[in-house]
Amino acid sequence: MSHAINFFVSSPSRSPASLTISRPSAFVSTGSLRVPVKKSSRSFVVKASAASDLDESQSSPVLVSENGSGGVLSSVTKEYGRNNAVASSADSSSIEVDTVTEAELKENGFRSTRRTKLICTIGPATCGFEQLEALAVEGMNVARINMCHGTRDWHRMVIERVRRLNEEKGFAVAIMMDTEGSEIHMGDLGGASSAKAEDGEIWNFTVRAFDPPLPERTITVNYDGFAEDVKVGDDLLVDGGMVRFEVIEKIGPDVKCLCTDPGLLLPRANLTFWRDGKLVRERNAMLPTISSKDWLDIDFGIAEGVDFIAVSFVKSAEVIKHLKSYIKARARDGDIAVIAKIESIDSLRNLEEIIQASDGAMVARGDLGAQIPLEQVPSEQQKIVQLCRQLNRPVIVASQLLESMIEYPIPTRAEVADVSEAVRQRGDALMLSGESAMGQFPEKALTVLRTVSLRIERRWREQKRREVIELPSIASSFSDSISEEICNSAAKMGNAEKCITNGTHPCSMLTFL
């Protein structure tokens, strides 16, 4: 049995074309990640392997762009990541390295042998056409727009630019819309891109509305019940603890808080409050997963024909089922995939039924880390990825993969290890958030994801070659069993690294026999 990751590329009228990567049951793989992209109609199918998507010997002979990035390269070959230590060994593999000209790509369509797909959150740092093109060249498979930020007109502009990129340059970048959700978060800082909270400062968190500019050290909160719900002594965590306050006084709609862990406040950052070491979530749990604003955004996404809708703070399977039938009734072909974001305690409780109901899942580690102890996040990630694979659903690993690259051009070694681990676990996709939305080095961050993914994938292939193959016995007579033993021995010999490195392909040995 093989599974498939399908990248459907369709015309505005959605005539189908597909890129299919078959996957082996040996990988107890995740399911089909369909990326329908509105694009000029063109049809192609790439079979990566009948036996393994990572088995070089059986991979498609038709390869793509350099390092499998799948992007348009300028007619002069570009050498991405050549100076980058993590890139160097991936460059030398014949399966990963190929070059195409823009003309060839237009002629043959988008193809990539890279298994791990890359998602970039688009924000002020990357919303220009040229910036989007640069990301596509670096291997962006999906552009994510987060409805927490920006206006619908801004998001429409991004969608149009991605579509134009696909149309004019031959890319197949899909669009993922991520709902805001109705969890408690801060307002937009009166238009400022960030604000610094220093140790010992008193800030006012308020449910009152203000016209910009906001009074100094004031944070608006989107949830009317906020001032009622918090108590003096509660800890208030911004963005899962990036900045921490203690509630010291309540005055009507205003909550005065003392900054105890200083840091940078970003617009619309998530807020959680903790009492006696426990997350306070009674009221939170009453808020709808899809708010009335989210429904309007979903209508917008359907009208714009986005490819994925990622639902924030999913609590149960019901909301996913409801959204899927809503989409089916309204979307032209009902083909928008629904991704369940696993980022709350409730979603962990109902994990299996949520994943079953969804077309895919996202390990949204940012908010998840604000709801459960940080040290539990890695094991939950592993559990979610494994479950998705068992249930045949694609899974995205998201948030803070390369957080330091928001400010610095190279990642920390720990970040590289984290990315490697997500790929090693067989996450289907990796996602950049702030790194690509508002960081200083979006392209470099994407290059790191791509080169690290390719490196791990290459390692799998090498390991696979050395694996002892177990061949079931099927002969029913003595003479058959002799033939079977000979064939099995030949197959094992052929599979041994020695044969491969000597250039003897196992298939040729079997043919000889």
Ligand X SMILES: Nc1ncnc2c1ncn2[C@@H]1O[C@H](COP(=O)(O)OP(=O)(O)OP(=O)(O)O)[C@@H](O)[C@H]1O
Residue type, 225: G
Examine residue 312 and tell whether it contacts K ion (CB under 5 A): yes
Cα(461)–Cα(467) distance, integer angstroms:
10
We find the least distance from the C-beta atom of residue 398 to Mg ion, in angstroms, to be: 8
Using CB under 6 A, which of the segments 123-131, 150-158, 257-265, 360-368 binds ligand PYR?
360-368
Spatial contact of 366 and 339, defined as CB atoms under 8 Å apart: no
Say how many C-beta atoms besides its own lie within 10 A of residue 115's C-beta: 22
Examine residue 343 and tell whether it contacts ligand PYR (CB under 6 A): yes
- With CB under 6 A, what is the number of residues at the site for ligand X? 18
Cα(265)–Cα(17) distance, integer angstroms:
45
For residue 184 the two structure tokens come to 């408690």
Examine residue 148 and tell whether it contacts ligand X (CB under 6 A): yes
Examine residue 93 and tell whether it contacts ligand PYR (CB under 6 A): no
We find the least distance from the C-beta atom of residue 340 to ligand PYR, in angstroms, to be: 12
Side-chain-side CA neighbours of 17 within 13 Å: the count stands at: 18
Cα(254)–Cα(227) distance, integer angstroms:
7
We find the least distance from the C-beta atom of residue 387 to ligand X, in angstroms, to be: 21
Closer residue to ligand PYR (CB): 343 or 403: 343
Closer residue to ligand X (CB): 218 or 433: 433
Cα(189)–Cα(180) distance, integer angstroms:
17
We find the least distance from the C-beta atom of residue 341 to ligand PYR, in angstroms, to be: 6
Which of ligand PYR, ligand X, K ion, none interacts with 365 (beta carbon under 5 to 8 A by kind)? ligand PYR
Report 350-369 residues binding Mg ion (CB under 5 A).
Answer: 364, 367
Closest CA to 258 of 235, 292, 288, 231: 235
Spatial contact of 415 and 409, defined as CB atoms under 8 Å apart: no
We find the least distance from the C-beta atom of residue 203 to Mg ion, in angstroms, to be: 22
Using CB under 6 A, which of the segments 23-31, 47-55, 146-154, 281-289 binds ligand X?
146-154
We find the least distance from the C-beta atom of residue 73 to K ion, in angstroms, to be: 33
We find the least distance from the C-beta atom of residue 115 to ligand PYR, in angstroms, to be: 22
Which of K ion, ligand PYR, Mg ion, none interacts with 399 (beta carbon under 5 to 8 A by kind)? ligand PYR
Among 133, 178, 234, 443, binds K ion (CB under 5 A): 178
Phi-psi region of 217 (alpha: psi -120 to 50; beta: other; left: phi over 0): left
DSSP label at 440? S
Q: Is the CA virtual torsion 158, 76, 113, 383 positive or negative? A: negative
Cα(419)–Cα(17) distance, integer angstroms:
31
Cα(513)–Cα(508) distance, integer angstroms:
9
Using CB under 5 A, which of the segments 122-130, 281-289, 305-313, 449-457 binds K ion?
305-313
Write the burial class of residue 246 (CB in 10 Å: 0-12 exposed, 13-18 middle, 19+ buried).
middle
Per-position x/- string for 422-441, each x denoting binding to ligand PYR as judged by CB under 6 A, each - no binding: -----------x--------
Closer residue to ligand X (CB): 97 or 197: 197
We find the least distance from the C-beta atom of residue 288 to ligand PYR, in angstroms, to be: 17
Examine residue 31 and tell whether it contacts ligand X (CB under 6 A): no
Phi-psi region of 378 (alpha: psi -120 to 50; beta: other; left: phi over 0): alpha
Say how many C-beta atoms besides its own lie within 10 A of residue 415's C-beta: 20
Rg (CA), the chain: 25
Report 209-268 residues binding ligand X (CB under 6 A).
Answer: 266-268
Indicate the length of the chain as a whole number.
513
Examine residue 310 and tell whether it contacts ligand X (CB under 6 A): no
Q: Please give the helix or strand (H or E) that residue 318 lies within, else none.
A: helix 317-330
Closer residue to ligand X (CB): 156 or 268: 268
What are the start-end ranges of the E strands in 239-353? 243-251, 254-261, 263-265, 271-275, 278-279, 308-311, 337-342
Using CB under 5 A, which of the segments 138-146, 350-358, 378-386, 393-401 binds K ion?
138-146
We find the least distance from the C-beta atom of residue 266 to Mg ion, in angstroms, to be: 13
Which of Mg ion, ligand PYR, K ion, none interacts with 148 (beta carbon under 5 to 8 A by kind)? K ion
For residue 15 the two structure tokens come to 């005539």
Closer residue to Mg ion (CB): 189 or 364: 364
Examine residue 398 and tell whether it contacts ligand PYR (CB under 6 A): yes
Examine residue 399 and tell whether it contacts ligand PYR (CB under 6 A): yes
Question: Token pair 């740092």 is at which residue?
Answer: 125
Spatial contact of 127 and 160, defined as CB atoms under 8 Å apart: no
Closer residue to ligand X (CB): 366 or 427: 366
We find the least distance from the C-beta atom of residue 285 to ligand PYR, in angstroms, to be: 17
We find the least distance from the C-beta atom of residue 433 to ligand X, in angstroms, to be: 3
C-alpha angle 469-473-476 in degrees, rounded to nearest 5? 160
Cα(31)–Cα(164) distance, integer angstroms:
29
Q: Which residues are near Mg ion by CB under 5 A?
A: 343, 364, 367
Q: Which residues are near ligand X by CB under 6 A?
A: 121, 123-124, 146, 148-150, 178, 266-268, 312, 366-367, 433-434, 437-438
Q: Which residues are near ligand PYR by CB under 6 A?
A: 312, 341, 343, 364-367, 398-399, 433
Q: Which residues are near K ion by CB under 5 A?
A: 146, 148, 178, 312
